[in-house]
Amino acid sequence: MRRHTQETTDFWLKAFGLAILIWTAIFLLFKFVISNDIVQGDSMQPNFFQGERLVSLKHKKVKRGAVIILSSPDNTGDYYIKRVIGLPGDKIVYKDDTLYINGKAKDEPYLNLYKNAWYLKQSLPFTANFSLKSLAATNTIRVPKKHYFVLGDNRTISNDSRSFGYVPQRDVQSVVVLRYWPIYTFKLY
C-alpha cells in the first residue's frame, strides 16, 4: 500500500510541475511574443470594427501597409491601431487623393469601400492635406529615421500622424497578424 501512495504522490508532483511549466510558457509567450488585442473606435473602418479581436506579434518586422498597435502619443496608457503608410526615409506625397511613395503611385485597396461610398462623393479628397510642420507647400513629407508615418483607414475621422506626427519605432507595440473574432471576419494578415 505504501508503494501505491508513493506512486500517486510522484504522479501529482509531476502533474503540478508540468502545469507550472505550461503556465510559465504561456505567460512568457504573451508577455514577450504575442498580444491579444480588441479594436476600440472607428478610425480603421471599414477594415476593422469596434470589438473585433486580433492577434499581433510583438517583434515582427514593420512593413509598409502593415496594421500596427502603437502606444498613444496623446493619451498615456492607451493604444491605437493604425496602418503604416511611410517607413523611415520615405518621401510621401498625396496628390489628387493618390498616394505617392518615393515618386511611385501606390494603390490603397483598403480604402476603396469608403472612397467609393455615396456619402463621400462631395468633391472632397478622402485623404486631405496634412498639417504637419514638416509638410512643404507641395504636400510632401519625408519620414525621419527610426519613425513611421501612420494613418487610419477611415481618413475622415482618424486621429493619426496628420495630427500627432511621426510614430517613433519604440512606440510600436506589435504588428497585427490575425483577426479571429467574430469568427465570420477571420483573416490572416
* Cα dihedral 45, 59, 85, 163 in deg (nearest 10): 70
Residue 23 grid coordinates = 503556465
Q: Is 43 a catalytic residue?
A: yes
Exactly one of 31, 61, 71, 82 is catalytic; which is it?
A: 82
pLDDT of residue 123: 60
Residue at 86: amino acid letter: G
Question: What is the model's pTM?
Answer: 0.80
Exactly one of 43, 158, 161, 174 is catalytic; which is it?
A: 43
pLDDT of residue 131: 45
Nearest to 172 by CA among 146, 154, 141: 146
pLDDT of residue 118: 47
Three-state SS at 128: coil
Cβ atoms 52, 182 nearer than 8 A: yes
Q: How far apart are CA 109 and CA 137, in angstroms?
A: 27
- Tell how strand 67-71 and strand 172-181 pair up: antiparallel
- 154-178: buried (b, 16+ CB within 10 Å) or exposed (e) per residue? bbeebbbbbeebbbeeebbebbbbe
Q: How far apart are CA 158 and CA 44, in angstroms?
A: 8
Q: How far apart are CA 134 and CA 137, in angstroms?
A: 10
User: What does each of the 189 residues of the chain score in pLDDT, given as a tens digit?
Assistant: 455 677 888 888 888 888 898 898 888 888 888 999 999 999 999 899 999 999 999 999 999 999 999 999 888 889 999 999 999 999 988 877 788 899 899 999 988 887 776 455 666 666 665 544 445 444 567 899 999 999 999 888 889 988 888 999 999 999 999 999 999 999 999
Cβ atoms 82, 74 nearer than 8 A: no
Q: How far apart are CA 189 and CA 63, in angstroms?
A: 12
Cβ atoms 177, 37 nearer than 8 A: no
Q: Is 82 a catalytic residue?
A: yes
pLDDT of residue 16: 85
